[in-house]
Each structure stands twice: as C-alpha cells, then as structure tokens.
Amino acid sequence: MRARTAFLERHLQLSIRKLEVTSLSRAIGFNCGQENIFFDVYQNILTAHDYSSIRIWNMDETGITNVQIPSKIVARKGVRYVGRMTSGERGKLVTVLYANSAAGLYIPPMFLYPRKRMAEGLMANAPSGSIGVCTYTGWTDGTMFLKWLEDFTTITKPFPHEKHLIILYGHNSHKTLAVIEYAGTNGIELVTLPLHP
C-alpha cells in the first residue's frame, strides 16, 4: 500500500481509475467501416428526399429507476456521517421513449410502466401530450414501439411525398415487420445507428 502511495506521490499525473468495460460485440460493431456504411446510407437518404431540419428526428429510449441509488459526493473532511434518505426496496425500471428533431422540436415522451394496470397518478406532472402504458416488464417490444410510432405519426403528420426521417439505434423492437410496413406506408424513413460502446 505504501509503495503505491509513494509511487503516485512521485507521479502526480497518474491516478487509480476504475476500468470502463466494453462488450466484444459492441467493439466489433463499432468500427470505421460500420460508421462509413451508416453515413453513406444517411447521406443517400438526405439527398434523395431533401429533408429539412424539422423532418429529421433522433429517437432514443432510456430506463429510469423509481428508487434513487446513492452515489459518491464531495463532503467536508472530518464529517463522520454523510447520508441521504432513500427507499430500501429494489425499485422498478420505467422505460421512456422520446424523439427530438434537428430543428429542436420534441415529441412528448411515452412512459412504459412495469404494471398490469395504469394508475392515473403515474402521469401526474408528465409533459403535456405524454403517453403512459403498462407492460409486464416495463421494457420496449415491437408492439409498444409501433404504438409510439403511431403517436409520432399523429403529431408530425408525415406523407409519402413529404417524408420524415427517424434515426434510432437498431434494437430488435425497432425492426419488426409491422414497424417497417407501418413506416413505409406512412411516409417515415428509419435509419439505424451502428452499435456503439
């Protein structure tokens, strides 16, 4: 222990860090060749349909836990106890689907709750126009993504002669036959991003 401390004191530009891991499949999928293919496809679509920034969308989803996880904080030296109240339960994951346009507009989010029935209070204080649905796990599947895409169409009103482009990552739920057919008949182009670390 002393040798490590002495070494770090002599080499102030070094520090002990935690490794950030990357899965092998992501490392293989995220390479220059895959990026070039994505940008070639993206450029061809932009050129073919002359999209304005209001018709180019980035769609993503994220999981939010309903229980806070304590993290490290900065505290005054000498204080013995630094605490915060939090729930003792494990919590559930709520998935949020959302999209923003290149022009800065956004589609109200869709919340997927891991429940059997929707409770009115779950959507209290949600952004206006948000949708709340329940699934067994709270995760996205092809049916829920199609529901989000239908809401997207209702709000943005794309047409086959005035298409909208959605850039999204290539999760299986985004590439079902029902999703692809719906997008094709409703003036929506879908482009999936290459895998990333």
Number of domains in the chain: 1
- What local confidence, expressed as pLDDT, does residue 157 receive? 94
**Domain assignment of residue 181, given as a range:** 25-62+99-104+140-193
- Mean pLDDT check: name the lowest of 5-19, 22-36, 78-92, 106-120: 78-92
Buried b (16+ CB within 10 A) or exposed e, 106-120: ebebbbbbebeeeee
Percentage of residues of the chain with pLDDT beyond 90: 32
Residues 6 or more apart whose Cβ sits within 8 Å of residue 75: 82
Give the mean pLDDT of the chain.
82
CA distance 164 to 38: 18
pLDDT at 87 over 50: no
**pTM over cut 0.85:** no
In a domain, 90, yes or no: no
CA distance 105 to 99: 8
The arithmetic mean of pLDDT across residues 31-43, rounded, is 79
- What local confidence, expressed as pLDDT, does residue 43 receive? 87
In a domain, 166, yes or no: yes
In a domain, 167, yes or no: yes
